[in-house]
Amino acid sequence: MKLMKSKKLIAAAAVMMMAMYAPGAVNAADTIKFGIAGPHSGDLASYGLPSVNAAKLVIDKVNAKGGINGKKIEMLIEDDVCKPEIATNTATKLVSEGVQVVLGHICSGATVAAMPIYRDAKILVMSPSATTDPLTLSGEYPNFFRTIAPNAAQSPTMADFAVNKLGLTKIAVIHDKGDYGKPLAEGAKKAVEDGGKGKVVLFEGITPGAVDYSAIVQKIKQSGAEAVIFGGYHPEASKIVSMMKKKRLKTEFISDDGVKDDTFIKVAGKDAEGVYAVGPEDVTSNKMSIAAKEEHKAAFKSDPGAFFDGAYAATTAMVNAIEKAGSTDLEALKKVLQSEKVETPVGNINFDEKGDAVGVGYSMYQVQGGKFVVVK
């Protein structure tokens, strides 16, 4: 009886082992494993899929030329649905599959959750979109880099622009209660109050995805605000802006990088005219950005989406670092990233000690004639 039991056990174990190892059995050592993580399904998929496309474009080009130092790059694409708990699974999966560098994650919350896993495995991570301050500024994650400036640089820009440039004093600060929008709005509120000249007359969060925002718009009107600073993404921004136009409000609308997206202008249409949005420094004249957009159009027959430039830049920077360093060792890669400038769609960049891109700052844009134009 005992013997039988153990035999069964061994058989079961063998079956389990086979089942577990079958898919991962092919382990070619002569490729560089490039992880891509972000939301590729669910409600935030539109923020994650463009960076997959960007990475595909860059990596296909590199592979077509024979790879880096003879090694082809293999993409491992994993979905994290922007959820912290799934992101840790995603990260563990990528690490155990032996990725050497990771592009992602997209959402701040998911990135914060996943970073300790990558840090322990000493894997370079570069995000095109996670802006929450502690990722770089706290110094906790030496393996983290990003091609977008942190929130800390963004909210003062908005506040300063409203108060000092436009000379408005009564400010309403609105956010979308999200992990991106709320800290931004809080930063802007603080900046306005610290500046001394302006006054925050309203500070509130709205429910993303709600059917209409007429009540909050009435409240903005009632508060007598001269400018609205909005922390959040473009779908809510365009709804608020349209509603403000419908209610004949003349209040200025100033928002963040989540709104400085061509989709905002497409969706809000003529209501978008005159809206201010902070965005990464002007890249419209950047040849590489234009070329990248053309590539995207040719390959996917559509316009690139959010964070495409940043993701393209991150991929380019990482590929360049691997090539120059000749390995995927974290220290070697860091050295290259920090010392050598590389030409990308977001400008000619390298990275500082903490992992933020040098030369990626923010400037203020205004929608004029259906385009974002830099405000001087």
By CB under 8 A, the residues from 331 to 360 that bind another protein are: none
Residues 63-122 that bind another protein (CB under 8 A): 77-79, 82-85, 88-89, 92-93, 95-97, 108-109, 112-113, 116-117, 120-121
Question: Backbone phi, then psi, for 102, in 5-degree steps?
Answer: -130, 135
Stretch near another protein under the rule CB under 8 A, chosen from 13-21, 30-38, 55-63, 315-323:
13-21
The three-class DSSP label of residue 261 is coil
Of 185, 248, 240, give the one whose Cα is nearest residue 217: 240
Residues 291-320 that bind another protein (CB under 8 A): 302, 305
12 binds another protein (CB under 8 A): yes
Residues 226-255 that bind another protein (CB under 8 A): 234-235, 238-239, 242, 246-249
Q: Are 285 and 376 in contact (CB under 8 A)?
A: no
49 binds another protein (CB under 8 A): yes
45 binds another protein (CB under 8 A): yes
Structure token digits, residue 317: 């920077």
8 binds another protein (CB under 8 A): yes
206 binds another protein (CB under 8 A): yes
The amino acid that residue 219 corresponds to is K
CA atoms within 13 A on the CB side of 162: 37
Between 225 and 317, CB nearer to another protein: 225
Stretch near another protein under the rule CB under 8 A, chosen from 35-43, 193-201, 322-330, 356-364:
35-43
Whole-angstrom Cα distance, residue 343 to residue 363? Answer: 20
Smallest separation (angstroms) from another protein to the CB of 209: 4
Smallest separation (angstroms) from another protein to the CB of 366: 20
Smallest separation (angstroms) from another protein to the CB of 323: 28
Q: Which helix (H) or strand (E) holds 245?
A: helix 234-246
Question: Backbone phi, then psi, for 107, in 5-degree steps?
Answer: -85, 145
215 binds another protein (CB under 8 A): yes
Q: Is 89 exposed, middle or buried (0-12, 13-18, 19+ CB in 10 A)?
A: middle
Residues 146-175 that bind another protein (CB under 8 A): none
Binder to another protein among 211, 285, 298, 376 (CB under 8 A)?
Answer: 211
Between 242 and 344, CB nearer to another protein: 242
Between 217 and 278, CB nearer to another protein: 217
DSSP label at residue 81: T
Binder to another protein among 153, 166, 201, 267 (CB under 8 A)?
Answer: 267
Name the residue with tokens 């500046």. 195
Stretch near another protein under the rule CB under 8 A, chosen from 59-67, 265-273, 286-294, 327-335:
265-273
Smallest separation (angstroms) from another protein to the CB of 374: 22
Binder to another protein among 31, 63, 169, 263 (CB under 8 A)?
Answer: 263
Identify whether 234 is preceded by a cis peptide bond (ω within 30 of 0).
no
Question: Backbone phi, then psi, for 347, in 5-degree steps?
Answer: 120, 180
Question: Backbone phi, then psi, for 374, in 5-degree steps?
Answer: -65, 135
Whole-angstrom Cα distance, residue 159 to residue 163? Answer: 6
Q: What angle do CA 118, 124, 126 make, to 5 degrees?
A: 100
Smallest separation (angstroms) from another protein to the CB of 162: 21
Between 259 and 364, CB nearer to another protein: 259
Q: Are 199 and 170 in contact (CB under 8 A)?
A: yes
Binder to another protein among 38, 104, 150, 183 (CB under 8 A)?
Answer: 183
